[in-house]
Structure formats: structure tokens, C-alpha cells
Amino acid sequence: PGAGGGHMSTGLVSQAWNHYNGSLKGLMTWSLNWDGSRGWTFGDNVKSLQGR
């Protein structure tokens, strides 16, 4: 999906992260405010994937 309120599921984000076997330095969200309005699902998922 894409812009205009679309999103990737936490499962797809995890799959993409795991594909690179920890070689990524981080992931980026399009809008921090949008993530906050959705209960921080993206940020919490990324922190979990990074072991934080």
C-alpha cells in the first residue's frame, strides 16, 4: 500500500527487517504523528525488532 493513510502490516515490516539479517541501521516512518495516532504500532514494532 502507500500514501494517503496506507500502511504495511507489522508482519511485513518484520519480514523486510529479517530479510536483511540485522544489517539495516534502522527503518523510517513517513509520519511520526500518524504512527502516534495509531498507538505507535510501527515504532513499537521497530524497537522490538532492534531489541530495544
Q: Considering the entire predicted model, what is its pTM?
A: 0.67
Residue with cell 493513510: 5
pLDDT digits (tens, 9 = 90+) for 17-51: 899 987 888 887 778 888 888 899 888 988 898 88
Query: For residue 43, which phi and psi values (nearest 5 degrees)?
Result: -60, -45
Assign 15 a pLDDT band (cuts: 50, 70, 90): very high
